[in-house]
Amino acid sequence: MVTRLDILLSERGKRRTDLETLIRQRYLDLALHIPGGCDLEPQALLAALAWQESTFGLHGGQSRVERAYCRGGTYYDGSSEVRDLWACYGSCAAASWSSWQILYVAAFELGFDLPPWRLFDDHIAFEWVIRYLDKRVLSKGATTVEDFADAYNSGTHRDSIVPVDYIKSFAQHYARCVALLQAGQPVGP
Ligand SMILES: [Ca+2]
């Protein structure tokens, strides 16, 4: 007998197939702007980020609450905007969402005006991930895979906070995605 739980679990598989299609079909429409003179491959960046953050959508349905944005956290204490968003949405405002785990606060700062849980949907989150990467990562001078991963994980590649393990893992995902694309293979599982 197929249970409701079986149906829910099968949805995870569909989500990953959907993610593969989403990246392949929309990354050009939404134009991730790679700076001139660097050879970063946009589709591989987006796919590698999904591998890194959610095992390519397998855990994309999980939102993760960041303590620094919760009541009493560093960013909560330091920002009236973060406190106001917390007042509206509670811990949902302090969470990251989607297969790319974009922070709600980061999307809000870029103009996202829906409730945080709408970022659960990869189709909605994708546009804001692209905007975030353009404005906060690539246009800030990240021109290598290492800088890209550093900036996405720690906010900037220009400071002394260097998430070494994250960067190493991302670089491996990226190299694999580039190889798959060059071989004409899907970047998903
Ligand atoms: Ca950094």
Instruction: Give domain status of residue 155, yes or no.
Output: yes
The predicted structure's pLDDT at residue 29: 67
The residue segments making up the domain with residue 153 are 16-62+98-103+115-182
CA angle (85 as vertex; 83, 86 as ends), nearest 5: 60
Q: Tell how far the Cα of 3 is from the centroid of ligand 1, in angstroms.
A: 45
Domain count of the fold of the chain = 1
Instruction: Give domain status of residue 189, yes or no.
Output: no
Q: Tell how far the Cα of 134 is from the centroid of ligand 1, in angstroms.
A: 17
Q: Tell how far the Cα of 63 is from the centroid of ligand 1, in angstroms.
A: 23
Q: Tell how far the Cα of 151 is from the centroid of ligand 1, in angstroms.
A: 6
Residue with the larger pLDDT of the pair 61 and 181 = 181
Instruction: Give domain status of residue 76, yes or no.
Output: no
Q: Tell how far the Cα of 132 is from the centroid of ligand 1, in angstroms.
A: 16
Instruction: Give domain status of residue 44, yes or no.
Output: yes
Instruction: Give domain status of residue 42, yes or no.
Output: yes
Residues lining ion ligand 1 (Cβ < 5 A) are 150, 154, 159, 161
Q: Tell how far the Cα of 157 is from the centroid of ligand 1, in angstroms.
A: 4
79: pLDDT strictly greater than 80? yes
Nearest to 99 by CA among 128, 121, 114: 121
For residue range 39-62, what is the model confidence (pLDDT) as tens digits? 899 999 999 999 999 999 998 778
Q: Tell how far the Cα of 117 is from the centroid of ligand 1, in angstroms.
A: 27
Instruction: Give domain status of residue 9, yes or no.
Output: no
